[in-house]
Structure 1
Amino acid sequence: MNAPRPLAVVTGASSGIGYELAREAADHGHDLLIAAEEQAIHAAAARLDAHAQEVRAVRTDLATRAGVESLVREVRALRRPPSTVMLNAGIGHGGAFLETDLADLTRVIDLNISSTVHLSRCLLEDLTAQGAGRLLITSSVAARIPGPYHAVYNASKAFLRSFGLALRDELRGTGVTVTVLMPGPTDTRFFVRAGLLNTRLGRSRKDDPALVARQAYEALADGRAQVVAGSLHTRAQELAGHALPSRAKAAVHRRLAEPGGSRSHL
């Protein structure tokens, strides 16, 4: 009898990095359970059928507690614990903090932070119970940068990086590893949804999500703690940023994220 294929759970998988992470998992022998809020998650599942033997799509709003609990029920209803979990769902919202609706800011926190903590708490129980597994948490190179005009988003990504690295240390000896993904600007719908197209950051060069996902999956499979994924340009910029004090990083970010910034190319 053939051994069952491992199961990968991927959130934020309707497009962009999440879709490409799901494709990487499928190409490496996983069946898939993919989730997103958008109706497009079903079209993504149809495209992924060419890569995986079994793909299940779940449309749910992970910015709500009910949406997270719905996804957990869907995973456990399969009665086959996942071997790989990729928590990639996230949003941003650009603009001046005092000019942004509180509801928009709290939704960033609810999706980026609260849902990741909630899903990690539930699904890590399944991974540790079987004594093996891989968890990927998508943070960002923005995690290291104070983010004027994107303050809540950058702070949420700093939380995710710290959270993932802390979990990794706690889980030593369990057979479960945690990897933090830190992409730079990537060619996805993120910048449209976050309202950043009128900024230098929104108009800057962006990495291929397939490249980011490939590097992320390799790091996950190797059990590495974190990976700055993307082009050489992105990785060099992130490395160079280590030498800058926080005040200088904030000033650079302000120029990039301030609405209506100069159209000079980066």
Structure 2
Amino acid sequence: MNSPKFAIVTGASTGIGFELAHLAAQHGYDLLVAADESLIDAAATDFRRHGVEVRSIVADLATLEGVDQLLAATNGRPVDLLCANAGKGLGHGFLDQRIADWRRVIDTNITGTLYLLQKLLKPMVDRDGGKILITGSIAGFIPGSFQAVYNGSKAFIDSFADTIRNEIKEAKGVTITTLMPGPTETEFFDRAQMEDTSVGTQKKDDPAKVAQDGWDALMAGKTHVISGWKNKLQAAVAHVTPAAILVEQHRKMAEPGSGEEQ
């Protein structure tokens, strides 16, 4: 082993997860990185230039079997840091979505994430040491027309992180930080079939900056961080704005075809 520190980063093939894995490697963490695509192996090669041990695995983290596959790849090595970043979006109206598609959003964003957290949090609490960064979203504050399942899944994750943080508060050596980005320049909108929407075509945040904000908050032991001043403002406004207004505003951003008006 090259380092006494060991981190797992999920959804690390591109975007925020890719940048988080770079940060962990730069700070001397050996890595186990995972994604549901073979591009993760090329990403791992990039992470190795920081001089740490890196192992990559292609696993479907929407399934319990995929999470078990990831856990088995640790070979029993204690995990000091987890960046639970794997997530999936889905655009268009709920009635137009296939059951398999919206179930996959829930299984990736909620079921697989919770299973991974439960498996890794327990040993962290038992030894009173460990750091977890969960990628939530400011979307969790906003009822999301044409992203109903995704926004609902992030509302769940944001709330769940706050709850579990309280449940384990006696374990002073374990911290859980929630990273809440806004729209970020990643493959998210392409994969969610939202390229023709207003939010899909607008200028978005730099994933490296978002990851750095999350990393800094994680290392400081903060409970959560909203990346970017515009997103901080949007989150603050969301707390005092009626849901009917919020959902109508979201409709203008996420309705299919809204990007053509730009």
**Could you say whether these structures have the same fold, taking a TM-score greater than 0.5 normalized by the shorter chain as the test?**
yes
How far the C-alpha of 1:172 sits from its partner, in A, is 0.8
Q: CA deviation at 1:27?
A: 1.3
Find the residue that maps to 2:217 and give its secondary structure: helix
CA shift digits 1:161-181 (9 cap, x unpaired): 011111111111212111111
2:135 is aligned to: 138
| 1:128 equivalent in structure 2 | 125
In structure 1, list runs of 5 or more residues that go unmatched. Answer: none
| CA deviation after TM superposition for structure 1 residue 137, in Å | 1.0
TM-score scaled by structure 1? 0.94
- Equivalent in the alignment of 2:199: 201
Residue number in structure 2 paired with 1:97: 94
Give the CA deviation at 1:130: 2.1
**Identity among equivalent pairs (%):** 44
Alignment-derived partner of residue 189 in structure 1: 187
Written as runs of structure 1 = structure 2, the 5 A alignment for 1:31-50 is 31-50=30-49
Letter in 2 for 1:196: M
Contact 2:2–2:52 (8 Å) recurs in 1: no
Residue 51 of structure 1 deviates from its aligned partner by 1.8
Q: Secondary structure at the match of 2:258?
A: coil
After TM superposition, the structure 1 stretch with the greater mean CA deviation from structure 2, 151-160 or 125-134, is 125-134
Instruction: Tell me the matched-pair count.
Output: 261
CA distance in 2, matches of 1:74, 1:188: 27
Q: Given the superposition, is the C-alpha separation of residues 3 and 96 from structure 1 closer, same or farther in structure 2, using an over 3 Å criterion?
A: closer
1:56-75 correspondence to structure 2 within 5 Å: 56-75=55-74
Q: Aligned letter for 2:223?
A: A
Q: Distance in 2 between matches of 1:11 and 1:80?
A: 17
Output one character per residue of 1:211-252: Cα deviation in whole Å (capped at 9) or x when no partner: 0000000101111111101x3333333333333111111010
Runs of 4+ in structure 1 deviating by more than 2 angstroms, as ranges, are 2-5, 231-243, 262-265
Match runs of 1:1-266 below 5 Å: 4-75=3-74, 77=75, 79-174=76-171, 175-229=173-227, 231-261=228-258, 263-265=260-262
Instruction: Quote the Cα distance in structure 2 between the aligned partners of 1:3 and 1:41.
Output: 21
Contact 1:32 1:52 in 2 (8 A): no
SS at match of 1:172: coil
CA distance in 1, matches of 2:49, 2:259: 43
Quote the Cα distance in structure 1 between the aligned partners of 2:216 and 2:122: 24
Partner Cα separation in structure 1 for residue 35 and residue 203 of structure 2:
26
Deviates more, 1:231-240 or 1:173-182: 231-240
How far apart are the structure 1 equivalents of 2:190 and 2:220? 33
